[in-house]
Amino acid sequence: MQNENSQINSEAKKRKAHLGKLVSVDPRSPKKGPVTIMMTDGVLIPKKDTHVFNSWRTTFFGSILLLVVLVVFKPEPYLKIFQVCASGIPVTFECTIFAILGAIVIGLFCGLGSVSKHVVLNRISGVYVELIRGIPLLVQLIFIYYALGKLAHIEGMAAAIVSMAICFGAYMGEIVRSGIQAIPKGQMEAAIALGMSRTQAFVNVILPQAVKIILPSIGNEFISMLKDSSLVSTIALSDILRRGREYISRTFLSLETMLVVALIYLIITLMLSRLVGLMEERLSSNG
């Protein structure tokens, strides 16, 4: 009996000694003989790109360098183009910021309605999401400005904010719904077991965790909304693209103007994407 136990222990020690190693022979390898490959139980997660010239730094600083070179070494016409187009940045940000705030409010109610057990609220939220997501933003923008504008007397900025908030509110509702459903059901059951009502458990336990999950997605929606805000130029708002189009109509320098407009949008978008990335890293580091 003791011999059998000692034999089993010796075999276990041998397996433990070889654990995490895989011996393989690759005929294409320049080294002759078996090759030891280390195996681990960890998930194969790609390492963070910390190289000095990673993709984001290369694109961001390359865009800035190109814009500076054009403005400094060829100020005519690029300096004037940059000044004209940059004057539309405040309008772009004003429209985007107010629209994202409205979209968050609409998305919150829409997401809560999507997970609600109330049949009417659930159905209304579902119809709203399917209806709004099926209509392009440009169509909604023109409809609200030209069609409803005659009835409600909606001006350009208000029409742009309302249409973008309604459009992105549908996408935000799906983000809120997915964030709430990502919380394990045991969280609600544990809160109820501690004596909380369903409302108290949702407000104090479920919603704070869901907010932490959906914050990066909200940041990405803000970036998408900033780029889609260029559509407000169709209703005569003086944003970045509208300023560029007005300059083209006077000078016919379409290539030069659109190049500067693209670089301005690219630089702003890359800055915001980096902020969203830092926010995601902060949330993941805090658990």
Q: Which of 269, 264, 262 is nearest to 224 (CA)?
A: 269
* Residue 106 dihedral angles phi and psi, to the nearest 5°: -65, -45
Q: What is the overall mean pLDDT for the chain? A: 81
**DSSP-assigned letter for residue 118:** -
> Residues 113-140: pLDDT tens digits?
888 888 898 999 999 999 999 999 999 9
What is the pLDDT confidence band of residue 33, given thresholds at 50, 70 and 90? low
Quote the pLDDT of residue 264.
94
Which whole number is the average pLDDT over 190-217?
Answer: 85
Helices 75-86 and 254-285, packing angle to 10 deg: 50
Chain position carrying tokens 């407009």: 261
Quote the pLDDT of residue 55.
86
d(CA 170, CA 182): 19
Residue 145 has pLDDT above 70, yes or no: yes
Token pair in block for residue 167: 């459009």
Say which range, 145-154, 196-205, 225-234, 241-250, has the weakest mean pLDDT: 145-154
Domain 91-244 has CATH 2.60.120.10: no
d(CA 11, CA 179): 49
> Residues 56-106: pLDDT tens digits?
889 999 999 999 999 999 998 899 999 999 999 999 999 999 999 999 999
Which whole number is the average pLDDT over 7-12?
Answer: 53
**What does the domain layout of the chain look like in residue ranges?**
91-244
**Percent of the chain whose pLDDT exceeds 70:** 81
Quote the pLDDT of residue 56.
86
**Percent of the chain whose pLDDT exceeds 90:** 38
